[in-house]
Structure 1
Amino acid sequence: MRASEQSFTASDDAAPVDMLAALFEARGWPFSATSKEELSGEIQGSWAKFQLRAIWRREDKVLQLLCLPDVRVSKEKRNAAYELLAKVNEQIWMGHFDMWSNGGVLVYRNGAMLGDDGLLSLDQAQALVETAVEECDRFYPAFQFVLWGDKSPTEALESALIDAAGEA
């Protein structure tokens, strides 16, 4: 039986990719575990579908989670986007946003150092995934305001945070 077919409880720990696969399967999110070290999946956020990618670095005992909100920044908008990235990252407690220089793709990254056993709990897996999606949802409008609404980075961030605070 594959680990992704098992039912894990809050007290269970498993190999990181196996635990994430079980979480994705339980939530009905499409995913593909390309190896014991990598998983890719998709989650519907409030604003868009987000691509999630988890990479397990066994030798470092670090699980890196990447969330891509399918935002590409044109060369003309990169300066404003970099300014917004700096302002957004000041608001984030865990992880950070970055922009890949090749293609201007926006990405949220978070790394989790696991213990000596290299195992991930269900609570940890849920927290990592939920944090990534929540942060992408929270700041997605700000990037859209800069890229499509021609707002300044400060105006975009203020508008996005006000809008998010006003939702019920």
Structure 2
Amino acid sequence: MRAAEERYDTDQDAAPLDMLAALFRARGWPCETTANELCGEIQGSWTNYQLRGIWRPEDLVLQILCLPDIRIGKDKRTQAQELVSLVNEQMWLGHFDIWSNGGVLLYRNGTMLGDDGMLSLDQAQALVEIAVEECDRFYPAFQFVLWGGRTPAEALEAAMVDAAGEA
């Protein structure tokens, strides 16, 4: 383990994956890192999410992927794509996609970092929290389409009403 991964002064900015790894360790979330990727797991409100941080140093871009454990079969792909379009209209940061290879649903958000390519603890926390919150917010809508037999518009409306009613 590199010394930078062992302990961070969280008042200092750090390399993006090092800061994400420090955040994961501080919260007790399991994660593994490679040269340009962090992969970890976070418990959301509905399910566990696989979270990946992918660092592109040549572009100074950190991409956050959050994958709820949802695979979309070919028979539901059209409805799920319609729901993704409706959901993405509701979002300010990031977007949902369905990977064509395997039908995996994912949330994706790319962040350009400054010229130094460093990430602050506040930025790391915000990126992770936003990813998990958006997955939690729309998870029911995808379940309504995939398992509840609702149309994409009905599913989104039902999920938004449920979310508004939570305290």
Cross-structure match for 1:14 = 14
Rounded to whole Å, the distance in 2 between the matches of 1:7 and 1:56 is 19
Rounded to whole Å, the distance in 1 between the matches of 2:108 and 2:21 is 19
Q: CA deviation at 1:25?
A: 0.2
Rounded to whole Å, the distance in 2 between the matches of 1:45 and 1:130 is 10
CA RMSD between the two structures: 0.8
Rounded to whole Å, the distance in 2 between the matches of 1:19 and 1:3 is 9
Cross-structure match for 2:108 = 109
Residues paired across the two proteins, number: 166
Rounded to whole Å, the distance in 2 between the matches of 1:8 and 1:83 is 45
State the TM-score, normalized to the length of structure 2. 0.97
Cross-structure match for 1:89 = 88
Q: 1:42 touches 1:50 (CA, 8 Å); kept in 2?
A: yes
Unaligned runs of 5+ in 1: none
Cross-structure match for 2:25 = 25
Cross-structure match for 2:157 = 158
Classify the secondary structure of the residue corresponding to 1:46: coil
Cross-structure match for 1:126 = 125
Amino acid at match of 2:134: E
Q: CA deviation at 1:2?
A: 2.5
Rounded to whole Å, the distance in 2 between the matches of 1:87 and 1:3 is 42
Q: 1:8 touches 1:122 (CA, 8 Å); kept in 2?
A: no
Write the mapping of 1:4-83 to structure 2, written as runs, cut at 5 A. Answer: 4-9=5-10, 11-35=11-35, 37-83=36-82
State the TM-score, normalized to the length of structure 1. 0.97
Q: CA deviation at 1:8?
A: 3.0
Q: 1:3 touches 1:22 (CA, 8 Å); kept in 2?
A: no
Structure 1 stretches (4+) deviating beyond 3 angstroms? Answer: none
Q: Percent identity?
A: 72
Unaligned runs of 5+ in 2: none
Q: Deviations over 1:66-120 (max 9, x none)?
A: 0000110010000000000000000010000000001100010000100000000
